[in-house]
Structure 1
Amino acid sequence: MSFNIGLSGIRAASSDLNITGNNIANVGTVGFKGSRAEFADVYAASVLGSGSNAQGSGVLLGDVAQLFTQGNIDFTQNSLDLAINGNGFFVTSNEGALSYTRAGFFGTDREGFITNNFGERLQGYGINQVTGQVNQGVQTDLRVDTRSANPQATTQIESTLNLNSTSVRPQPWQQAYDTYIDTNAVDPANPTPAEIAAAKGAAQGTFDPTNSATYNSSTSVNIYDSQGNQHVLTKYFVKTDANEWNMFALIDGRQVNLDGTLDGGGNLVGSNLLPTDPAFAPEPIPLTFNSVGELVGGSNTDLDFWEPLDSAGQPTGAESPAGFSLDLTGSTQYASSFGVTALSQDGFTTGELAGLEIDDTGLLVARYTNGQTKVQGQVVLATFANQQGLNPQGKTAWTQSAASGEPVVGAPTSGTLGSIQSGALEQSNVDLSEQLINMIVAQRNYQANAKTIQTQDTVTQTIINLR
């Protein structure tokens, strides 16, 4: 019996050495999870059970337990290198066969699918092409869309600025106003409201964007048409009275038709005229402030009737966006220098793919050369009720089994799932020092069990030699 006991001990020590050697061999394997040998004793038993003084019959390998503890995270230069900080596994598909891994070596194949080193496709949630939102719960192969980003026409400009309340009327404007009053007013010293309005109308014709003496201040912003062509909207401000200003809006230095008036040929009247054109007479947008400098009139203006032209003044074929508006809400008239305190517009030109980023919730975000970003999908993670029950398949991957239970799949950071670190890899969780000590212990156990067999052999030989 001692031979069998010693033999079982040798087999157990050999298994322990194999498991320890495998851990040591994979100490540099990304995403590898170390294992340990778990042994159990053996007792001989009959149908009626074993006696109270039963002797042991050796040892057996009860289980090879996988240790799913967190490995160290090392940072790399590849944004598609992914590490999981916490619980969960990446889900990969090999023509529909799913496997689960902690190894985050990912890149793209020639079709743009995100794959690991073995060509298995990373799973995630796709994007609803209508709403642009992540399709939560619909698992698919993640794919990087390398197409150019579509341009978006400007439909809203929001600008907050301050007009200097101490500014005086431009000299050409004042001269034209005075000339009209002196010439047409019944009593130039006390003109009527109608005469004042007429004089202001005559004075507004002195505005010339090429002559800075005809306006007080100006500011510009880039806007975009439906084809992504860039244009420049410039706003000019002319003080006309206390708490009153005229704003002129020109696009690419050309006047804009504000009321949509058409001529007999269906063309916008006075649209896109340059200052050199004799008919150039941009319509002013009146701005009114109250006694404490708050804008109370003219805060929102529609510029719907703009016709995009190229640098040569020819139609680009692009459409003027419907509902194009200029919002000055929050602007002020204080006794300080002119300045723009806030400016935004919602248009942009086309852009090429410049890079990819994956945040801690798994969102795959594409960056474009036009400064825009777009979510292209979301990486999913899976977890199991019994991780120890997963079947190891090699290549640092596991598959589901009856013992592991069904996978619970979801977005990173949801439920018990961990977060994702982009540009990083999780290293093996094997402690090399511990494994070297385990190897020495296994070697000692092997030698001790061999000694048991040797001693039993000596005893048996003694009995055989009896005469």
Structure 2
Amino acid sequence: MSFSQGLSGLTAASQALDVVGNNIANSQTVGFKSGSIAFADVFAGSQIGMGVQVSSVNQNFSDGVLGMGNSDLDMGIQGNGFFRLASEAGSIFYSRNGQFKQDENGYIVNNQGMFLTGYQATGNPPTIQPGAAVGPIQIPNGQMPARASDAGTLKGNLNSGSDVIDQTANPFDPADNKSYNSVTQMDAYDSLGNKHTINVYYVKTGDNQWKAYSSDTTSPNLNDQGDPVYQELELSFDTAGQLTTNPAKLSIQGAGYNGGAPLNFDLDMDGMTQQASDTDMGSPTTTGYAPGLMNGYMVGDNGQVIASYSNGQSQLIGQVVLSNFTNPGGLTSKGDNTWAETPESGQPSTGVAGTGNLGNLLGNKLESSNVDLSKEMVNMIVYQRNYQSNSQTIKTQSELLQILANLG
């Protein structure tokens, strides 16, 4: 019996050393989760045990330390959750290794070529549609299409001390700077991305009374006589200098230019004031932009993949999802830093990072191995001594048998 006890002890200690060795070997593996061995005694109908057996090898899914990543697509998880990966055959795997890159078709893949999954943004501008399917995320390499301006905002102050202009004697004429008090210039874009320069002119017509005129100087609308047509808005202020015109929307209109559709949108002037200080319109804004080429991309801390373009714009490409399990310890390891679902793990719950029971996802970070080298070195010494002690029981039993044989 002692032989079987000692042999079981040698086997168990050897397997424990294997676990320790694997932990140490993967101490620098990104996203690796350390293992620990559990033992159970063996009885066979007697009070004297038959030895020991390995009951399980458990994995420690505690967080590793987050460090800086090496590429724009590196990601790290803190808290619950796994990256959801799909193989070319469609099999689903889970990982904590956030080292990702683009393949030749623009898909985000890990070093083994598995596809990182999430929600793909669609439309112009791209957005994630409600109920979107989870699938591989692809980063397009084409140019960002132009977007026509369909709204604008202009907020600022008109100088209450400006001279009143008699429009009977001096009708508004952009060519005559005596027919207006000041002018603001801004850019807008048509459906093809052609840039239009828009001028907004301000004319003080009386105390607390102004008129605003708009003109598309790039491609103005023309009347039957071939003269430019200007859009007009009356602005009224109270004695505190607050705008009382409601709604204060100045129409912006322009003719088609170089094949683009005509401009036609409203400029929101709510929030304008009239005070005894210099006229200042700040930074007027309009929607729309010219086409642009991709400059690069980044992963936000919520898992959104955002691309930046040469036109100064950025747009959403997709959003990475995370998956979590009721019992992560029930996952089965598949190598290459991946696990697969089992009945013991339960079915995955999948969603956006930071929601439900899912942890946070951080861009340009990598989660290091959670192996504690100091602890593993101590365990190695303990299991080595255990191995030596079990070998000693076998040696002792052998000597006893030899003595018995000599007595015979």
* TM-score when normalising by structure 1: 0.80
Q: What is the aligned counterpart of 1:327 among 255, 262, 268?
A: 268
Residue 294 (structure 1) aligned to one of 242, 260, 266: 242
Shift of residue 245, structure 1, vs aligned partner: 3.2
Residue of structure 1 aligned with 2:227, choices 246, 260, 270: 270
Alpha-carbon contact 1:80-1:423 (below 8 Å) kept: yes
Q: What is the CA-CA distance between 1:284 and the residue it aligns to?
A: 5.8
- Assess if the C-alpha contact under 8 Å between 1:81 and 1:424 holds in 2: yes
Shift of 1:254: 7.1
The counterpart of 2:151, out of the listed 153, 156, 161, is 156
**Which residue does 1:279 correspond to in 2?**
none
User: Is this contact kept in 1: 2:252–2:263, CA < 8 A?
Assistant: no
- In structure 2, do the counterparts of structure 1 residues 327 and 412 end up closer, same or farther at CA, with 3 Å as the change threshold? closer
Cα distance change of structure 1 residues 64 and 287 upon mapping to structure 2, 3 Å threshold? closer
Q: Is the 8 A contact 1:215 1:237 kept in 2?
A: yes
Q: What's the counterpart of residue 322 of structure 2?
A: 381
Partner Cα distance (2:56, 2:123) in 1:
49
Distance 1:415 1:135 in 2: 17
Alignment check: 8 A CA contact 2:231 2:250 kept: no
For 1:410 and 1:255, the matched residues in 2 are separated by 50
Q: Is the 8 A contact 1:87 1:416 kept in 2?
A: yes
Deviations 1:129-178 (A, max 9, x none): 48833444621111112222221222222212222121224xxx6xxx6x
Spell out the pairing of 1:82-161 with structure 2 (5 A cutoff): 82-94=75-87, 95-129=89-123, 132-136=127-131, 138-161=133-156
Larger displacement relative to structure 2 (397-406 or 418-427) = 397-406
Q: Does 1:358 align with 2:299?
A: yes
Counterpart Cα distance in 1 of 2:353 and 2:231: 56
Query: Structure 1, unaligned stretches of length 5 or more?
Result: 178-199, 273-281, 309-314
Residues 155 and 137 of structure 1, relative CA distance in 2, 3 Å threshold: closer
- Matched with 1:343 is 284
Task: Summarize the alignment of residues 43-442 of structure 1 with structure 2, pairs less than 5 Å apart.
Answer: 43-45=43-45, 50=46, 54-94=47-87, 95-129=89-123, 132-136=127-131, 138-169=133-164, 200-204=167-171, 207-209=173-175, 212-252=177-217, 256=221, 261=223, 263=224, 269-271=226-228, 285-297=233-245, 299-304=248-253, 306-308=254-256, 315-322=257-264, 324-341=265-282, 343-442=284-383
Q: Structure 1 residue 388: deviation in Å?
A: 1.7
Give the drift of 1:116. 0.5
Q: Structure 1, residues 409-441: CA drift from partner, whole Å, max 9, x if none?
A: 222112111111111111111111111111111
- The 10-residue stretch of structure 1 (139-148 or 18-27) with the greater mean CA deviation from structure 2: 139-148
Whether the 8 Å CA contact 1:125–1:139 is kept in 2: the answer is yes
Q: Structure 1's 43 and 288: CA in aligned 2 closer, same or farther, altered over 3 A?
A: closer
Equivalent residue, structure 2, for 1:16? 16
- Deviation by residue 1:233-257 (Cα, 9 ceiling, x = unmatched): 1222233333333433333377655
- Write the letter of the residue equivalent to 2:57: V
How far off is 1:395 after superposition?
0.7
| 1:126/1:135 contact within 8 Å kept | no
Q: Distance in 1 between matches of 2:129 and 2:301?
A: 15
Distance 1:86 1:284, change over 3 A: closer
Q: 1:81 corresponds to which letter in structure 2?
A: D
Residues in 1 aligned to 2:218 and 2:196: alpha-carbon distance in whole angstroms: 10
Say what the alpha-carbon RMSD is for the aligned residues. 2.4
Deviates more, 1:409-418 or 1:238-247: 238-247
In structure 2, relative to structure 1, the CA distance for the partners of 1:285 and 1:111 (3 Å cut) is same
State the distance in 1 between where 2:117 and 2:234 align: 57
**Greater C-alpha radius of gyration:** 1
3-state DSSP of counterpart to 1:380: strand
1:383/1:255 Cα in 2 relative to 1: closer, same or farther (>3 Å)? closer
Q: 2:36 maps to what in 1?
A: 36
- How far has the Cα of 1:110 moved from its partner? 0.9
For the structure 1 residues 429 and 44, does the alpha-carbon distance in structure 2 shift closer, same or farther, using more than 3 Å as the test?
Answer: same
Q: Match of 2:10, SS?
A: helix
Q: What is the one-letter code of the residue matched to 2:205? A: T
Secondary structure of the residue aligned to 1:138 is: coil
Unaligned runs of 5+ in 2: none
Q: Deviations over 1:208-255 (max 9, x none)?
A: 54x645532222111112211112212222333333334333333776
